[in-house]
Structure 1
Amino acid sequence: MTSSPPRPGRDSRVALLPPRERILDAAEELFLQEGVKAVGVQAIAERANTTKMALYRHFATKDALIEEWLRIVAAQYANAFDRVEAEHAGDGRAQVLGVTRFVAEGLPDIVRRGCPFVNSVAGLTDPGHPARRLIQEHKAEQRRRLTAMCARAGAQVPDEVSAEITFLLEGAQVSAQNGSVDRAGDRLVAAVTAVLERGTAVREEGR
């Protein structure tokens, strides 16, 4: 799930933010606009109204800055899962659909800015890059939580159902980003609902 809500701590009065927050805000803007590989530290420092020396006091390297930015973005999605689980305690079907709606509602932002994880992976060609490993761990944890939701929803093979749903969630975001499908959010919710119904119906028939 990669829809990108505003980063925690962002303030419309950017000049009033602490230097570290200004740097993260500037990095996010530039990374989403130009990609993590293309953006230089000098450009980030200038956008943050600071200096390279000040930036390096907060982040030892550009890679460390990329990793911290993606860590914050990943935490937003973990918080979204937490909210959905709390709002629909014990109701796996409602939890899965809650996550799906969260992603669907974020698709307009994906259209404007792109997916932070997809865009970053494209620029992180080294499989051992810490930020790339962070993305992989984030995706694996989301898949684990989604599988648990599918189990609570009554799916006979929760891992298979969560794999299909993950495929739909990721595909919807790519489709929204490249403009290949209209009404991507509505189509996503309908498709995930159908997968859930099919996955739980199999269990009912087998009883």
Structure 2
Amino acid sequence: MDISEVRSRIIATADGLYNAKGIQSVGMDELRTAAGVSLKKLYQEFPSKGSIVMAVLERRHQSWTEGLDATVRQAADPRAKLLAIFDYLAGWFCQDSFRGCGFINSFAELGAVSPDVAEYARKHKESFQEYVAALAADAGAPPYLAPQLSILAEGAQTTAAIAGTPDAAGQARQAAEVLIEAALLAARAGSGLAGSAG
């Protein structure tokens, strides 16, 4: 077993434990046992718990980004790509391991005491907002649509986690349809007015 395989196993194990129990309640001994490595090996790979937490956040960011983009790319047109965000959420919310957004949870748990966690959570959310903004621009929507859809998606994640049901994804998708339609109508009306003014 090479070093990268051990490292990956530790990160995956930590991710699962942190998701199920919270970061602060999982000690290094529990992680070592669950990952099947010695404490010495664990500290060789990660000199501190904080370094493991950051590796887990990086793993979560990559998983979220790749999973979301794979779902969006399957959509047929720009409008459908925006709605596919909520289709991705629906699939995620149905997973047994779903406990809400790992970045919101990490920020709530450690954001006040760990600047690194707070900053990474902010960057993750910013990257999602930028992704939605690019999709909205491709659809020809006004710039205000992307923040609205991002807030809907964020709210759906929190609601689904607390309610314990995936219903919030469908409800958010229905709201997104209304917002998208209104924004595209406004964009068409605006371009018509610009054309007539010329």
Distance 2:164 2:34 in 1: 33
1:115 paired to 2:94: no
- Written as runs of structure 1 = structure 2, the 5 A alignment for 1:120-199 is 120-126=106-112, 129-156=115-142, 158=143, 160-179=144-163, 183-199=167-183
CA change 1:165–1:55 in 2 (3 A) is same
Question: Which structure has the higher relative contact order (CA within 8 Å, separation 6+)?
Answer: 1
CA change 1:170–1:110 in 2 (3 A) is farther
Q: Is the 8 A contact 1:104 1:189 kept in 2?
A: no
1:39 paired to 2:26: yes
Identity of aligned residues (%): 25
Q: Is the 8 A contact 1:127 1:133 kept in 2?
A: no
Distance 1:180 1:50 in 2: 34
Q: Is the 8 A contact 2:90 2:166 kept in 1?
A: no
For structure 2, the residue ranges without an aligned partner over 5 or more in a row are: 193-198
State the aligned residue count.
188
Any idea what the Cα deviations from partners look like across 1:82-128, whole Å, max 9, x if unmatched? 43564458x43122112221112111237743321122112213365
Q: Is the 8 A contact 2:68 2:88 kept in 1?
A: no
- Paired amino acid for 2:133: T
Distance 2:157 2:96 in 1: 7
Q: Is the 8 A contact 2:78 2:135 kept in 1?
A: yes
Distance 1:175 1:30 in 2: 22
Shift of 1:18: 3.4
Shift of 1:142: 1.2
Q: Is the 8 A contact 1:32 1:113 kept in 2?
A: yes
TM-score by length of 2: 0.84
1:54 maps to which of 15, 19, 41: 41
Structure with greater helix share of residues: 2
Q: Is the 8 A contact 2:104 2:121 kept in 1?
A: no
SS at match of 1:155: coil
Distance 1:171 1:56 in 2: 37
Counterpart position of 1:96: 82
For structure 1, the residue ranges without an aligned partner over 5 or more in a row are: 1-16
CA change 1:133–1:102 in 2 (3 A) is same
1:64 paired to 2:51: yes
